[in-house]
Structure 1
């Protein structure tokens, strides 16, 4: 698997990744995270992904020559408690369901940790949906993150997590 920078043409690819994740979650009755509507065709979601690309922090994991997942790093979201030290923040992470079970998400999080180290930063943070059975929180914990603080945005339950790194 290789991780490359986001590039022109990736916005519809990333929207499609989210579509596959939303459909999979909705099929399980798990609509609390991202709802049940596809991201493709939603102007707000399209702008969001385009902004991620323009911001320079988007990376795409490719598996067997196909886009398999996306991570976006940058500044923390405004709805979480600010860090008290320099950090790199995982703003988004998604895996195309066609590539589920092949370590795509873990590979992208490892890339983010390496990027943080390269920047001389010892803290990598992420937030995620913490509703239902908290399987997503458990995924991040399995990738070396530790729960920092629960939060809510409206009625959406979230968990802020962090991962300590050793800077290069």
Structure 2
């Protein structure tokens, strides 16, 4: 099994939404409904617009296994609306997700390694990401295992989040 990562574009919106939708299904099957809710991204017009806007603001990337989209992320030069910018050049990982049938196969690790390489290629010293801080902090621990360090916690309503960074 080989993971290939390719740059995405506007035409990849259905594939990206498909990965995000299957991630919601995977999370919900494990009782995790607070992270991304219970409705697919593609069924929520506001979420679709958010994905489109994020893709337009940066570089979407698709991880494929045997030609099938297995994961996605978009790298932007700034965070989303609920996190303040770093105050220095940064690359921000947004909408990172692994498709339901591809968990445990290294897709997220491959995408984050690509984010590190892309950040270095751009000669930017700071890579940041934010994640859901609920569910016992499992996502925070995952990012820490990938070389990120916790910085700022935040909340959007009752949704707990955590910003993490990796200096390069």
**TM-score over 0.5 for the alignment?**
yes
> 2 CA distance for matches of 1:81 and 1:25?
27
TM-score (norm 1): 0.92
**Could you give the per-residue CA deviations for residues 11-58 of structure 1, whole angstroms, max 9, x where no partner exists?**
111111111111121122211100111112221122222223333410
> 2 CA distance for matches of 1:91 and 1:7?
15
Structure 1 unaligned blocks of 5 or more: none
Compare 138-147 and 9-18 and name the one that shifted more.
9-18
Question: Which residue of 88, 91, 96 maps to 2:94?
Answer: 91
Compare 52-61 and 84-93 and name the one that shifted more.
52-61
Query: Residue 145 of structure 2 corresponds to which residue in structure 1?
Result: 142
**Could you give the per-residue CA deviations for residues 88-122 of structure 1, whole angstroms, max 9, x where no partner exists?**
11122011011111111111111111111111111
Question: Which residue of 57, 60, 69 maps to 1:58?
Answer: 60
TM-score (norm 2): 0.92
**Could you give the per-residue CA deviations for residues 128-150 of structure 1, whole angstroms, max 9, x where no partner exists?**
00012111111111111011111
Specify which structure has the higher proportion of helix.
2
RMSD: 1.3
Are 1:118 and 2:159 counterparts? Answer: no
Aligned residues: 165
